[in-house]
Amino acid sequence: MKTYEQILKRRTIRRFLEKPINKGDVVDCINAARLAPSSANIQPLEYIVVTKHLEDLFRYTRWAGYLKDGAPKESERPTAYIIILSNTDLNKDAKYDVGLAAENIILTAMERGVASCLLGSIDREQLAKVFDIPEKYIIELVVALGYPAQRSFEEPFSGDVKYWLDDQCNLHVPKRTVKKILHDEKF
């Protein structure tokens, strides 16, 4: 699949099959993240791959704030996570690097049939303790990975950004159109 087609198809998934992900595929995701552009080529990001201590990580995440019961049930949880860290000795503000690296992770996973969900609503203090993360690191994001157990659809934006689940637990996500966000030459 070509990159643009892959981007159009990509959707966040919050319910996963209980099927382990090949560790090599997760390492490929990290390699793709490593090759993302980095401000001044400082490369402050590092990664923790979690495939065994899944419950230790899951308990410190919060899922899908717009949904009444947004967290995946025990049988629908991710089978891998990638914790994206920034080393503050190298760069105090790596937010752009984080976004670029996360997108490379997501697209690489998707190419292998693995779905993802970016988690920013996490208990960073507890995760740092559980995963022995030194103080000079900031936990930027957690990427949840797994084979999809639900589908997700883009919906036309009609004034409300809140996503919702249908009767089959498929996710529907409102998105603004290109026409609404594109300003040609001048605002």
Domains and CATH numbers, the chain: 3-149 (3.40.109.10)
Residue 168's pLDDT band, with cuts at 50, 70 and 90, is very high
Per-residue pLDDT tens for 43-58? 999 999 999 999 999 9
- Which pLDDT value is given to residue 70? 87
Look at residue 1 and tell me whether its pLDDT is greater than 90: no
Cα 97 to Cα 23: distance, rounded to the nearest angstrom: 24
Cα 14 to Cα 154: distance, rounded to the nearest angstrom: 15
**Which of 137, 131, 109, 150 lies closest to 60 in space, CA to CA?**
131
**Whole-structure pTM value:** 0.95
DSSP three-state, residue 75: helix
Percent of the chain topping pLDDT 70: 100
- Which pLDDT value is given to residue 66? 92
Contacts of 33 (CB under 8 A, 6+ apart): 45, 47, 82, 84, 101, 102, 104, 105
DSSP string covering 55-67:
HHHHTTB---TTS
**Mean pLDDT value across the chain:** 96
Any idea what the Cα angle at residue 45 is, between residues 44 and 48, rounded to 5°?
145
- Which pLDDT value is given to residue 69? 83
